[in-house]
Copies of this chain bind each other. A is one copy, B any other.
Amino acid sequence: MRILVANVNTTESITHSIVGQARSLAAPGTEIVGITPRFGADSCEGNFESYLSAIAVMDAVTRYSEPFDAVVQAGYGEHGRGGLQELLDVPVVDITEAAASTAMFLGHKYSVVTTLDRTVTLIEDRLKLAGLDARCSSVRASGMAVLELEGETERAMEAIIAQAILAVSQDKAEVIVLGCGGMAGLSEQISQRVGVPVVDGVASAVAIAESLVRMRLSTSKVRTYAAPRSKTVKGWPLNFLDVADSLLPIG
């Protein structure tokens, strides 16, 4: 089976890291294909960037011309999963939900350790909508930006471990979820230091996607995620003049 693993930002090295993590856990017959959006932020750390990535991921996935069996949306707390589900017949698994769902099989409560404080409410909102928040004891920010996870792995690791320890001792978490696609691959080391299971979203999502395909289950098409109605959509598929980089702040 072939699973598309879609990075939500435009940083190729993150796609590589995510794909590596996905492959290390995929079953023998599973082919993992990394998808990087054509446009959008180099890292998603807020609502504007996340909404832009929602469309950029839909653009990238629908432009992929080979057949595939499932999609993993590899951004923690990002928007857009429901849109992809409408556009596709194969299952779509979001890593935020996959990780939370997996954590709930391992302990009474789990905490998420993520990047910046500003993404905490995005993640809380995603978990609430997904109905996976009842056993979430906290979402904690390590203070490390997404791109710092790559450049300063050691410092990032320590910052994550510090928050994970607080989550266990103060918030009564029994399981830790790594709340960023860019943290792929750190779970085992962190688990050894903190003494509780540490769940990686990409690995969880790939495992769930594989299982759904094996069970021949896909998105229900009776209501919320039915294919879009036949109608005029101006400018779609997106047809850019160029996708040159710009620098925020906009203006």
Residues on A close to B: CB < 8 A? 10, 25, 27, 37-43, 45-52, 54-55, 58, 62, 79-80, 82-83, 85-87, 91, 93, 97-98, 101-102, 104-109, 117-118, 120-122, 125, 128-135, 145, 168, 172, 174-175, 188, 195-197, 199-200, 203-204, 207-208, 210-212, 214-220, 222-251
* CB pair A249 B224 closer than 8 Å: no
> Min CB distance, A79 to chain B, in Å?
7
Number of copies: 6
* CB pair A222 B240 closer than 8 Å: no
Most buried by B among A45, A133, A250: A250
* CB pair A230 B248 closer than 8 Å: yes
Q: Which of B27, B241, B246 contacts A240 (CB 8 A)?
A: B241
Most buried by B among A51, A125, A225: A51
Q: List 24 A-B contacts (CB under 8 A).
A: A38-B235, A39-B235, A41-B233, A45-B229, A51-B55, A51-B58, A51-B79, A51-B80, A52-B83, A87-B250, A101-B104, A102-B208, A102-B212, A107-B220, A131-B133, A174-B224, A174-B225, A188-B216, A197-B218, A230-B248, A232-B248, A239-B240, A239-B244, A241-B241
Query: A83 to chain B: which residues have CB within 8 Å?
Result: 47-48, 50-52
Query: A172 to chain B: which residues have CB within 8 Å?
Result: 120-121, 223
* CB pair B108 A91 closer than 8 Å: no
> Min CB distance, A33 to chain B, in Å?
19
Query: A47 to chain B: which residues have CB within 8 Å?
Result: 82-83, 85-86, 224-225
